[in-house]
Structures are given as C-alpha cells and as structure tokens.
C-alpha cells in the first residue's frame, strides 16, 4: 500500500478522534459488525452493517479516505522524502534532454580518464571515436576557436565527439540523435559544421604537397628503398565512395564501374600512407583520367606552380620528382604509368612495371585504411551537397592518425581495378613524349642495376 496513503489515513483517524472522542472509527466498525453477527449470523458479512453504526463519522471518513486513495493512486509515484526536498528541487530546475546528454558525455569522457593506463584509455577512445584520446584532444583544441564563433549551444568537445562517433561507425543522423538525445536536424547541422571546418581550416595544415627539401628527400629515399626507382615522391589512385541513396539529378552519372552510386575520391599518398593531395569533384561514373585532369594538382603540376628542386640525371634525362599511377592515368613527366597492364613488354619494361605497382600499393593501402577507420565512407549517409566535405574531413583525420602513428584498423577491401587506358590529349602530346622517354630510361637503368647485383 502507498506509504503516503497510510499517512493520510492515520491523520484522518486522529482527526476523527479529536472531533468525536467518545467513538473510534475502528471500534465503531468492529462493534457494529460484532453486534450484527450475534443477532444474525447471516448479516455478519453484509457491507450495509456499516450504515447502522452509532455515529455517522465512520461512513464520512471512509468515504473521504476512498476518495483520497483514488487520487493518490492516480498521481506519479514520488519518494517518501519529497516533502523534505521540496526546497532543494524548486531551486534547481530539471535538466532538458540535451543537458542530460551533455552530462552523460562528460561523465563518460572525464570520469577516471587520467587514472586509466594510457593503452587502455586510448583503446577505449578508439572504439568510440576512431582515434586515441591525445589525438581527440588535438582535434578539439584546433576546432574549438572556430566552433566558438558559431554560437553553438553544445560544448566543443561534445560536438566533435558526436561527429567523430558518426564518422567512425557510419551512423545515420537519426541514430546519433537518439543516442545523444538531440534532434536529427541538429545532428546534421553539427556534422556539416565540424566536417566543413576539418575540410577547410585543418586541410592546409595536415594535407600538403611535399615541396620542402627535407620532407621530399625523406619521401623519395623511402620509395627508392621500396621500389629501387629514384625520385618517386608519391602514388595516386581514385576510389569511388558509395552513396547511401542515388542522387536525383543525372543518376546514371553517379554509377561507378562497380555498379553502385558514388562520388569519386582522388588521393596522392606518400610512403607513410599520408595523403598530400585530396580531390573530390566528380560523380562516380567519371573515369580516372578525366577526374585527374579536372583536379587542382594537375593544373599546378602542368603549369609549373609546384617547384621541386630535387633533380636527378638518369641516362641523360633530367628526372624531377614524380608520382606513379596505374594504366587508367595519362603518361606525363610527373606521372608515370606502367608500360603494359598485361605484362607483354620487354624484361626491362616488365621489371619496371612490377616496381612501379609496388610503389603504387601504398596509396591502395592508404585508401583501405581510410575506409576501414572511417566507416561512414563505406556507405555515405549525408546529403550529396555535403558529401565532398565529409570525405575530405575523413582524409584530414586519416592524416592525423597516421602522423600520430595510431594503430591501423582492418583494411577495407575493394574490388580489383579495371578500366581502359586514356587517350592522349593534344595539349598533352609534348608531355607524353617526354614522359615516354623518361619512363624507358628509368626502366633500362633499373634493369641494369638489378641485373648486376
């Protein structure tokens, strides 16, 4: 029985006794029922026996008690200490859903965080947000000034954590909204803001073409140790990023060679699987060569905007730093491709192709790491307008993880590449001629070096 009802009933008994001290609510009831039982046993169980009590007070107070019992049963259950804590609860308003979720997040992220061993702490953080606690705080510190000017009602670390959890696990806005007690529209708004900041404010700091001599020498030497080819400074590849739904405008243009709707991601990676260029500006149905020719890095390399002062002489040819790609890319002095995709070249050419593809493997692994670490790229559930910035934001976060030497997750496997060789444009004929001679010189030099060992 409700404890509050027992208290009310007790108060009624005291009130009755004070009004009519010559009778008792219980004694009247018992005496009346006893008398009825002695006079007529069959009437002992009759509820009407209460009407013949010597006082009307029992009936009155039982009626009041019944009404109060009904009222008490329809009220929400409260603690027995409600009356003692009334003053406290009135001075502290109840938190709304977002306040509760912020409190829950802070309890999760700050409780005993520094008492944990670093490996245990960081492993827990990676399972939640895709990166360790130190890298998480780095991201928050760099984005906090930009988030502050947006007048966001949520703390910066809470907003970043929410977006990272979505990127790391591929969650939809509705799922994240339910988990954090927020409106789905607010989740989408915060996701768009954080990914935009990552793709614009942090991009110049963490995605850079290696023009500095120290980094350039380190990169070319590492590639040479891997492939025995001199002055290689990067590997390029394109990967379709699957869209969760087929876009309405021109849906056929978004279907990639694997059959699903997508947008194209083009990246250039160094030997550490760190991206030094990222481009997302074409539907999934676009071929790799067209996407490359529309990219900023192509314009910068063909115009001479990127100056690499590390030049080598190989069999009378001036070899500047170059990147390598598969046969879907055009052959240029700064982008070398295999002689033959089918291995039908000379021994020197086949050897060169094998080493070139070995160097290209780093960008394939880098893309696999990217999609394995940020699972939202496996099925991109954001609007088409925000797809490029979300992809670029994940590339920035990928570089942060690689620079911090975060443990590499399970690789995301994609189908094998296939596609036709691109035709040579009129504007590229001189580049193609020079690249062809340069590639042959490197192949002959490589064959001679390895044959003499």
pLDDT single digits (tens) 28-64: 433 443 343 343 434 443 333 333 334 444 445 455 5
Instruction: Record the pTM.
Output: 0.76
pLDDT digit string (tens) for 92-136? Answer: 444 444 444 555 555 555 555 556 678 888 888 898 899 999 999
Radius of gyration, CA atoms only, the chain: 38
Number of neighbours of residue 448 by Cβ within 10 angstroms: 11
More confident residue, 213 or 58: 213
pLDDT at 421 over 60: yes
Q: What is the mean pLDDT of residues 394-409?
A: 96
pLDDT digit string (tens) for 281-332? Answer: 899 999 999 999 999 999 999 988 887 888 899 999 999 999 999 999 999 9
Of all residues in the chain, what percent carry a pLDDT higher than 90?
A: 57
pLDDT at 185: 92
Of all residues in the chain, what percent carry a pLDDT higher than 70?
A: 74
pLDDT at 261 over 80: yes
Q: What is the mean pLDDT of the chain?
A: 80
The burial of 268, by beta-carbon neighbours within 10 Å (0-12 exposed, 13-18 middle, 19 or more buried), is given as buried
pLDDT at 410 over 60: yes
pLDDT at 69: 52
Q: What is the mean pLDDT of residues 186-190?
A: 93
φ, ψ (nearest 5 deg) of residue 336: -100, 140
Q: Return the sign of the alpha-carbon dihedral for residues 90, 96, 98, 102.
A: positive
């Amino acid at each position: 029985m409700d404890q509050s009802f027992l208290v009310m009933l007790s108060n009624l008994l005291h009130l009755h006794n004070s009004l009519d001290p010559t009778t008792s609510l219980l004694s009247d009831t018992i005496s009346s029922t006893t008398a009825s039982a002695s006079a007529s046993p069959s009437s002992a169980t009759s509820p009407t026996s209460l009407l013949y009590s010597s006082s009307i007070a029992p009936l009155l107070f039982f009626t009041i008690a019944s009404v109060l019992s009904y009222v008490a049963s329809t009220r929400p259950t409260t603690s027995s200490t409600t009356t003692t804590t009334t003053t406290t609860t009135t001075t502290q308003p109840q938190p709304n859903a977002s306040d509760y979720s912020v409190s829950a997040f802070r309890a999760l992220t700050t409780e005993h965080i520094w008492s944990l061993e670093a490996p245990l702490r960081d492993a827990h953080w990676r399972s939640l947000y895709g990166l360790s606690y130190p890298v998480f705080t780095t991201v928050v510190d760099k984005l906090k000034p930009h988030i502050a000017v947006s007048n966001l009602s949520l703390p910066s670390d809470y907003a970043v954590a929410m977006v990272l959890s979505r990127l790391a696990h591929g969650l939809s806005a509705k799922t994240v909204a339910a988990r954090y007690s927020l409106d789905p529209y607010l989740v989408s708004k915060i996701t768009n803001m954080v990914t935009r900041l990552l793709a614009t404010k942090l991009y110049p700091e963490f995605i850079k073409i290696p023009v500095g001599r120290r980094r350039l020498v380190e990169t070319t030497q590492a590639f040479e140790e891997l492939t025995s080819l001199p002055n290689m400074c990067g590997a390029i590849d394109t990967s379709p990023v699957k869209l969760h739904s087929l876009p309405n405008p021109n849906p056929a243009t978004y279907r990639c060679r694997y059959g699903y709707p997508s947008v194209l991601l083009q990246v250039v990676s160094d030997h550490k699987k760190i991206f030094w260029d990222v481009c997302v500006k074409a539907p999934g149905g676009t071929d790799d060569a067209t996407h490359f020719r529309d990219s900023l890095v192509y314009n910068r390399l063909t115009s001479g905007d990127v100056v690499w002062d590390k030049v080598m002489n190989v069999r009378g040819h001036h070899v500047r730093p170059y990147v390598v790609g598969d046969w879907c890319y055009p052959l240029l002095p700064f982008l070398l491709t295999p002689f033959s995709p089918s291995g039908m070249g000379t021994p020197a050419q086949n050897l060169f192709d094998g080493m070139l593809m070995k160097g290209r493997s780093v960008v394939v692994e880098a893309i696999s790491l990217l999609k394995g670490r940020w699972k939202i790229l496996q099925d991109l559930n954001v609007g088409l307008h925000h797809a490029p910035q979300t992809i670029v934001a994940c590339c920035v976060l990928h570089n942060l993880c690689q620079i911090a030497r975060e443990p590499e997750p399970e690789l995301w496997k994609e189908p094998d590449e296939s596609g036709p060789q691109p035709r040579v444009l009129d504007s590229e004929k001189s580049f193609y001629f020079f690249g062809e001679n340069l590639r042959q010189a490197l192949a002959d030099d490589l064959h001679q070096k390895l044959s003499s060992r």
